[in-house]
Amino acid sequence: MQLTGQDSRQLLKKLRNTLAEDGDGQERLDHITQLVSQSMGTEVCSIYLRRDRETLELCATEGLKKESVHQTRMRYGEGLVGRVAQEATPINAENATEEKGFRYMPETGEERYSSLLGVPIQRLGEVLGVLVVQNKEKRKYSEDEVYALEIVAMLIAEMKELGAFVGQGEAMTAPHQRAIMFTGGSAQEGAAQGNVLLHDPQIVITNPVADDPEAEKARLNEAMDQLRISINDMLDANKTNASEEHQDVMEAYRMFANSKGWMSRLEASIDSGLAAEVAVEKEQSATRARMARVPDPFLRERLHDLDDLSNRLLRLLTGQGQAIGENMPDNPVLVARNIGPGELLEYGKTLKGIVLEEGSVGSHAAIIARAWAIPMVIHAKKITLEALNGDTILIDGDQGVAHLRPDSDVKSAFKEKIAMARQAKARYAEIRDKPAETKDGVQIEMLMNAGLMADLPSIDSSGAEGVGLFRTELQFLVRNEMPKRDELAGLYARVIDAAHGKPVIFRTLDIGSDKVLPYFNPEDEPNPAMGWRAIRLGLERKAVMQMQLQALLRAANGRPMKIMFPFVAQFDEFRQAKAMLDQVVKNERKLGHKVPSELKVGAMLETPSLAFAPNQFFRMADFISIGGNDLKQFFFAADRENERVRSRYDTLNVSFLTFLEMICKRCFDLGTPVSFCGEDAGRPLEALCFAAMGLRTLSMRPASIGPVKHRLRSVDLEEVRKVIDAARGSGDQSVRGAMRNWLSKNG
Ligand code: PEP
Ligand code: MG
């Protein structure tokens, strides 16, 4: 059954013609199994399609018992066919019954066949089914035969995507039409209704078979040339200011784009009859399958590069999806595998919601989503493969659930949810100008976190008493090059103006970790969260920090100013940073610029070490701000960006609360004002417990001020304290349960 390129093209054409035939999906599938077994000289050809995420169903067969069609099912990983699906790689078995994992399915009559070749039917790395051929005689199928069957499987995948196999049963439903619910995690609460905006739009290929391989290769070559030119351009453009790592990635791209192996595999697929786009997708699927198996992170990154390159090539070949945010639908809900803070900022506040396949609560993309109060769901597995641009989507940020193409019941339940959220907002607006005072008269200062110009109107509308954390690095993240001092000074002045005399605490640059500046990227580090970041970088790259400090002082233009340094791990770092600031102040004076009428200098407490710093540190610092996001990550040694470990440790864990209490006490004893500006300050229950531990200033995203204030105003803090103490006394791991019980009993 050797298939030449010519035979293969003939077969693909015949298969494609089944698309044009009248008849339903079942007839098409039946016809395909006949054509394949005839042309390849096999006694059996069967097509198994995916029923749901875990099950395959026999949907058509030539050679096995017809009664078993739509009856025989197997789970992924079960039997040889299930194994092909699970591992996304072919199985070529000379004697199938002796193969590991073989499962006998009497209803099919397959015991008469010895040899089996199964290949995954996959598209963009997603297994949609399995294509199997079988023969009575014991034989190993040749490499050419495996390849030919893979080409056929690729075409079947494209045809499935085009809706060619719609028929009876779950396995034959139309693609991208079903209502699907994705259950993930919550990164920002709230409900949103809108239309899907894919970060990487799906490419639609309407004609998967090529009639003229030479013309197709010419098209591929042309697109390849364009790809190489664009990579060279990017390399040239970035030569001067890109980091070494960035250059390395670009060089890897260049290497792949010039790879003879890649090119010859693509040309071979075209010779077998596939259109250039489908040939690229075939390689991409193989890359993704490999990506899932490779444990080495460096190699995985390189495979990611190749995957990205395939996407670029597909865009060039199809002309689809060239620009970020192209074809923005109304009420866009961004759907992506993952997204960095810089990319998210590019989309801007117009987004109604965000759904990610990966992502994490502690990431800066999530912090931005929270700052903008955009509901965000993370860990919605495989949503990018199901969603199409413009699909209706509802997201429930409270539950971490996204409903794609929801039915009318879900839609009406959602309407109620949105209405309730609106009512709550109105309730919070009523207390906007009232103090956050507990029933027993403890007043909590409510500050807001900011970092973007778009946040400024919230200073008035949220009822914040000032800005407790202005993340200056966000201004650096939205640019392609280092901002200039005067530009920054203008920007900071606008922030101070917008605060109308309320205090603003500017935090100096906190880059590194997940906040990567393309033009100022530190070396590749094994663990960037614990690497060269924030103050560590500022003290070594003095020019950048001095420039920023100068911009801040000039923005104040004689008005009072508060500056804090991030990620101070030991006293000396603070001393050095403060000395640098003193020097900049001196120079400014010398240059005849006004200096702030009052300059308060603080430190962020984000590593446990600083809580144990000498008393002199606490006396030198004008204030301390607890960066709970980082502090918690280092306290529990649990990466804030890794949901698997992050979610193990509750913020209301007794050890953590006791640690916060200790910090408050030290600050109180030494007379250092202390606040908390991590994300947890914006969660009502957490805020309540922090207040009970002694915190009197909380800084949070603007949208949290209402709910937190509402909660604080409804309780007696002394009572809260008693509940926490009782929970601590009884050995509870977290006080959350006890607090919830108490709150539900006490309204
Ligand atoms: C923190 O770590 O809590 C903090 C406020 O800083 P960031 O989240 O920007 O690291
Ligand atoms: Mg931090």
**Ligand 1 mean position to 628 CA, how many Å?**
7
Q: How far apart are CA 72 and CA 82, in angstroms?
A: 12
Atom of ligand 1 nearest to the CA of 677: 5
Does residue 325 have a pLDDT over 90?
no
Band of pLDDT at residue 239, cut at 50, 70 and 90: low
Contacts of 441 (CB under 8 A, 6+ apart): none
**What is the residue-averaged pLDDT of the chain?**
89
The dihedrals phi and psi of 506, each to the nearest 5 degrees, come to: -90, 130
Six-digit token string for 469? 């954390």
pLDDT at residue 177, rounded to an integer: 86
**Among 233-242, 266-275, 516-525, 727-736, the range of highest mean pLDDT:** 727-736
Contact call for residues 568 and 535 (beta carbons, < 8 A): yes
Least confident of 126-140, 142-156, 413-427: 413-427
Q: Give the tokens for residue 723.
A: 């509940």
Q: Is the pLDDT of residue 26 over 80?
A: yes
Give the pLDDT of residue 356. Answer: 95
The pLDDT score that the predictor gives to residue 173 is 85
Rounded to the nearest angstrom, the distance between the alpha carbon of 567 and the centre of ligand 2 is 6
In this prediction, residues 727-731 reach a mean pLDDT of: 96
Looking at residue 320, its pLDDT comes to 78
Residue 521 pLDDT class (50, 70, 90 cuts): low
Confidence of residue 73 (pLDDT cuts 50, 70, 90): very high
Q: Which two tokens stand for residue 741?
A: 């019980």
Which of the four pLDDT bands, split at 50, 70 and 90, describes residue 301? low
Give residue 656's pLDDT band: very low, low, confident or very high (50, 70, 90): very high
Structure tokens at 281: 């997708």
Give the mean model confidence (pLDDT) for residues 220-224: 93
Please compute the mean of the pLDDT values over residues 137-164 and round it to a whole number.
90
Residue 193 clears pLDDT 60, i.e. is over it: yes
Which of 361-370, 435-444, 530-539 shows the lowest per-residue confidence on average (mean pLDDT)? Answer: 361-370
Look up tokens 């803070």; give the residue: 341
Query: Tens digits of per-residue pLDDT, 460-491?
Result: 889 999 999 999 988 887 776 889 999 999 99
Could you identify the atom of ligand 1 that is nearest to the CA of residue 513? Answer: 10
Compute the distance between CA of residue 84 and CA of residue 91 in angstroms, rounded to an integer.
6
pLDDT top residue among 407 and 370: 407
DSSP code, position 406: -
Higher pLDDT, 485 or 514: 485
- Residue 518's pLDDT band, with cuts at 50, 70 and 90, is low
Q: Return the H-helix or E-strand segment holding 55.
A: strand 55-62
pLDDT of residue 574: 98
Lowest pLDDT segment from 118-132, 296-310, 670-684, 720-734:
296-310
CA distance 158 to 284: 14
522-541: average pLDDT? 86
Which ligand ends up closest to the CA of 628?
A: 1
Q: Supply 653's token pair.
A: 């864990």
First to last CA, the chain: 76
Domains of the chain: 5-172 (3.30.450.40), 180-201+324-415 (3.50.30.10), 213-318 (1.10.274.10), 425-745 (3.20.20.60)
Arithmetic mean of pLDDT, 282-309: 75
Q: How far is the CA of 631 from the centre of ligand 2 (A)?
A: 8
Residue 601 banded pLDDT, cuts 50, 70, 90: very high
- pLDDT(99) > 90: no
**Pick from 89-103, 315-329, 524-538: least confident:** 315-329
What average pLDDT does the segment 301-311 reach? 75
Q: pLDDT band for position 528 (50/70/90)? A: confident
Q: Which residues line ligand 1 (CB under 6 A)?
A: 367, 469, 471, 510, 606, 627-630, 677-678
Task: Please report, rounded to a whole number, the percentage of residues in the chain having pLDDT higher than 70.
Answer: 94
Q: Which of 452, 507, 510, 674 to mutate to test the pocket of ligand 1 (most atoms within 8 A of CB)?
A: 510
Nearest CA to ligand 1 atom 8: 629
Ligand nearest to the CA of 371: 1
Rounded Cα–Cα distance for residues 545 and 577 (Å):
9
Strand order in the sheet with 353-356: 180-183, 401-404, 392-396, 191-198, 332-336, 353-356, 376-378, 185-188
pLDDT at 195 over 60: yes
The pair of three-digit structure tokens given for residue 247, joined into one six-digit string: 């250059």
Q: Whose CA is nearest to atom 6 of ligand 1?
A: 627
At residue 491, the pLDDT reads 94
Residue of 289, 198, 305 whose CA lies nearest to 251: 305
Which of 357-361, 589-593, 686-690 has the weakest average pLDDT? 357-361
Contacts of 554 (CB under 8 A, 6+ apart): 485, 489, 493, 588, 593
